[in-house]
């Protein structure tokens, strides 16, 4: 998913049709979201048997690909982007609502991870 596609998903959540003013800040917002969800993404990668990322990818522009696992891209990140977009409205109820949806989605994706524990005392 590109930054543009993430922005479009967030705008749909907000019933917004004009993305003009948000395009200037979307790449920066996407970079912030990636910083916040880096550990969660690595957990999802680990659960899927993939190698964890060692460095945070850099978002260059709106066409930059966000190399995150699909569950994060489809749930948490659009809510996170929406929470940043509505901040411009100065309506803290909206900001809190979308931020809570973002945190809830992150929590649901990462609440548990099971792995085999080796008994070193046997």
Per the CB < 8 A criterion, the answer to whether 45 and 53 are in contact is: yes
pTM of the model: 0.86
Query: Can you spell out the DSSP letters for 20-58?
Result: TTTHHHHHHHHHHHHHHHHHHHHHHHHHTTPPPPSSPPP
71-83 pLDDT, tens digit each:
999 999 999 999 9
33-87 pLDDT, tens digit each:
999 999 999 999 998 999 999 999 999 999 999 999 999 999 999 999 999 999 8
Give the Cα separation of 88 and 22 in Å (integer): 10
Sole residue written with tokens 């569950």? 71
For the chain, domain boundaries = 3-110
Give the Cα separation of 33 and 70 in Å (integer): 14
Question: Which residues lie below 8 Å from residue 5, measured CB to CB, with a gap of 6+?
Answer: none
103-122 pLDDT, tens digit each:
999 999 987 666 677 888 87
């Amino acid at each position: 998913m590109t930054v543009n596609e993430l922005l479009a998903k967030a705008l749909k959540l907000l019933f917004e049709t004009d993305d003009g003013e948000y395009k200037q800040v979307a790449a920066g917002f996407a970079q912030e979201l990636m910083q916040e969800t880096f550990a969660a993404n690595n957990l999802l990668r680990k659960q899927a048997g993939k190698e964890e990322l060692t460095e945070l990818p850099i978002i260059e522009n709106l066409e930059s690909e966000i190399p995150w696992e699909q569950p994060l891209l489809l749930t948490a990140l659009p809510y996170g982007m929406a929470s940043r977009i509505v901040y411009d409205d100065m309506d803290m109820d909206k900001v809190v609502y979308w931020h809570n949806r973002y945190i809830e989605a992150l929590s649901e994706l990462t609440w548990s991870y099971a792995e085999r524990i080796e008994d070193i005392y046997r």
